[in-house]
């Protein structure tokens, strides 16, 4: 109960901030984040549009609208809003990361790789961008590049289960079973649901 009560209080405070300073994009944005916390997507979207109207360079607001589109299963809308985000602020790595993610979902692997490389160029600690890039490389058969991207992700966040899972797949592709088993076990240890097919394929190679 505590959490939603806190969110309600936070929202009430942000509504007051918006009322006292309706031209401030950040106040609208903060209110929208509170509404998203309660899954009030329609109202949050309206408030985000107001935030963007007040502050056209508030790239985070564009990204949040993109997130609401994704919630509705609207990949094109999500892509569009993230493209607006990177136009509104140069070098906005989160927008590029999301563009890469959506392009990958749409099967546009080359476009995904281009966007993800930009995300990483602007933020070299963007762990999700590295793992998404690793997936894109794996889909195009660039196994070694995929492995390197996952290793980079783990250098930032050693417990990142998805990267361990991806490495298990990459090393399995290369026939490096010991390394594949090591990362598979780490992925499981950090709570990742490893594909049963991979577990089955690795089973005979366990010592």
- Domains of the chain, by residue range, sit at 124-207
Q: What is the per-residue pLDDT for 5?
A: 82
Domain 124-207 has CATH 1.25.40.10: yes
Query: Taking Cα atoms as reference points, which of 138, 140, 104, 139 lies closest to residue 119?
Result: 104
Question: CB within 8 A of 112, min separation 6: which ones?
Answer: 99, 100, 101, 103, 104, 132, 133, 136
Q: What is the per-residue pLDDT for 1?
A: 41
Q: What is the per-residue pLDDT for 176?
A: 97
Which pTM was predicted? 0.90
Q: What is the pLDDT of residues 46-70, one digit of tens each?
A: 999 999 999 999 999 999 999 999 9
CA distance 82 to 69: 10
Q: Which stretches of the chain score pLDDT less than 50?
A: 1
Q: What is the per-residue pLDDT for 2?
A: 61
First-to-final CA distance of the chain? 49
Q: What is the per-residue pLDDT for 207?
A: 87
DSSP secondary structure letter of residue 126: -
Assess contact for 135 and 146: CB atoms under 8 A. Answer: yes
């Amino acid at each position: 109960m505590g959490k939603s009560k806190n969110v309600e209080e936070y929202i009430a405070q942000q509504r007051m901030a918006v009322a006292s300073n309706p031209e401030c994009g950040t106040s609208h944005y903060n209110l929208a984040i509170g509404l998203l916390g309660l899954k009030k997507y329609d109202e949050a979207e309206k408030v985000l549009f107001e935030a963007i109207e007040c502050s056209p360079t508030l790239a985070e607001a564009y990204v949040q609208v993109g997130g609401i589109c994704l919630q509705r299963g609207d990949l094109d809308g999500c892509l569009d809003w993230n493209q607006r985000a990177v136009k509104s602020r140069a070098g906005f790595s989160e927008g590029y990361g999301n563009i890469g993610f959506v392009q990958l979902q749409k099967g546009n692997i080359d476009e995904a790789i281009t966007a993800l490389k930009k995300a990483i160029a602007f933020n070299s600690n963007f762990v999700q961008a590295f793992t998404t890039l690793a997936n894109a490389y794996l889909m195009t058969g660039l196994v070694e590049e995929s492995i390197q991207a996952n290793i980079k992700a783990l250098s930032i966040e050693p417990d990142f289960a998805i990267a361990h899972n991806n490495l298990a797949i990459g090393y399995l592709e290369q026939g490096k079973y010991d390394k594949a088993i090591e990362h598979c076990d780490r992925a499981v240890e950090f709570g990742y649901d490893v594909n049963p097919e991979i577990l089955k394929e690795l089973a005979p190679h366990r010592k």
